[in-house]
């Protein structure tokens, strides 16, 4: 399952139910230009037979670096039934098990103190950053 596939297609073409697919607040690095946000996708296996998954997650150990004074983005993560797992291993899941995939955020560019006040207010209002 790719995080850029619409939920409706995932549910129609697989034995998975997507509970949540949303942007990860605070995952983009701080900077004059904030890093792009990662996503969080939480889904449940609904298949009567075991399902094999391969996670091709990136930046789970080393975050995307910030540049020119910007800070790094958040690392990605994969959890099965709430427990962090090695993002490089193949897994076989049974009905009722849940998976949470958190894609990494991008690094920020430039010093955060140089970010426009209106942009900061927009980020807060949209929920892109936390206070």
User: What confidence tens digit (pLDDT) does each residue in 23-32 have?
Assistant: 999 999 999 9
Edge-to-edge strand ranges of the sheet holding 98-102? 16-23, 39-45, 98-102, 77-80, 83-84
Is 117 in contact with 32 (CB distance < 8 Å)? no
Q: What is the pTM of this model?
A: 0.88
* pLDDT tens over the chain, length 131 residues: 566 788 999 899 989 999 999 999 999 999 999 999 999 999 999 999 999 998 888 899 999 999 999 999 999 999 999 999 998 889 999 999 999 999 999 999 999 999 999 999 999 999 999 87
């Amino acid at each position: 399952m790719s995080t850029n596939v619409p939920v409706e297609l995932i549910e129609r073409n697989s034995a998975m139910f997507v509970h949540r697919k949303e942007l990860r607040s605070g995952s983009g690095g701080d900077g004059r230009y904030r890093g792009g946000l990662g996503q969080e996708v939480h889904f449940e296996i609904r298949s009567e037979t075991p399902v094999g998954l391969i996670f091709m997650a990136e930046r789970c150990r080393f975050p995307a670096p910030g540049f020119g004074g910007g800070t790094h983005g958040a690392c990605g993560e994969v959890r099965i039934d709430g427990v962090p797992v090695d993002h490089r291993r193949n897994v076989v899941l049974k009905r009722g098990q849940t998976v949470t995939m958190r894609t990494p955020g991008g690094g920020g560019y430039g010093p955060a103190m140089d970010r426009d006040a209106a942009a900061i207010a927009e980020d807060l209002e949209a929920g892109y950053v936390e206070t």
